[in-house]
């Protein structure tokens, strides 16, 4: 992948909550076993109950957060109610491989959508972007 973002990218989340809403294919928040356990602990419920109430399984058997009325069930008035325990994918957005694969993809899927990316500062370093991409990919590989 070309690192067109090698000088870093400006980003500062405005906490608008838009990225917690479904956008067709982009409505998928994968949650692996460790992430589900962390969220269940945070909510003080059993893992099986967490799975039943808050997740769905896709055709490959991977668990995803359940979205209702077009948004994640943990979103309340633009606030993530499980912020301290939210999955890696939520913490690292928009520094995902698929969004950074080209300037064009980043423009369409991030800059045109997320107000936090349309800023001048602070700049997230290439090193931090790389680390977040790797963390996201590793979380996706876990089941």
Residues that bind ligand SF4 (CB under 6 A): 13-20, 29, 65, 72, 74-75, 80, 82, 86, 90, 93, 114-116
Q: How far is the CB of 91 from ligand SF4 (least distance, A)?
A: 8
Q: How far is the CB of 85 from ligand SF4 (least distance, A)?
A: 8
Contact 133, 99 (CB under 8 A): no
13/45 with CB nearer ligand SF4: 13
What is the full DSSP assignment across 105-132? HHIIIIITT-GGGS-S-PEEPHHHHHHH
Alpha-carbon radius of gyration of the chain: 15
2/21 with CB nearer ligand SF4: 21
40/90 with CB nearer ligand SF4: 90
64/126 with CB nearer ligand SF4: 64
User: Among all chains, which residue has been given the structure tokens 């000088």?
Assistant: 7
Contact 55, 65 (CB under 8 A): yes
Q: How far is the CB of 6 from ligand SF4 (least distance, A)?
A: 22
Q: How far is the CB of 39 from ligand SF4 (least distance, A)?
A: 8
Distance CA 126, CA 85 (A): 25
């Amino acid at each position: 992948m070309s690192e067109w973002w090698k000088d870093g990218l400006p980003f500062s989340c405005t906490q608008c909550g838009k990225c917690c809403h479904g956008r067709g294919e982009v409505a998928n928040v994968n949650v692996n076993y460790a992430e589900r356990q962390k969220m269940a602990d945070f909510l003080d419920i059993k893992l099986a109950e967490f799975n039943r109430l808050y997740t769905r399984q896709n055709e490959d058997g991977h668990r995803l957060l359940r979205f209702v009325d077009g948004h994640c069930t943990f979103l309340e008035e633009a606030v993530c109610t499980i912020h301290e325990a939210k999955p890696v994918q939520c913490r690292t957005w928009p520094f995902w491989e698929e969004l950074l694969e080209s300037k064009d993809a980043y423009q369409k899927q991030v800059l045109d959508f997320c107000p936090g990316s349309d800023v001048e500062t602070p700049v997230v370093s290439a090193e931090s972007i790389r680390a977040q991409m790797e963390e996201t990919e590793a979380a996706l590989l876990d089941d």
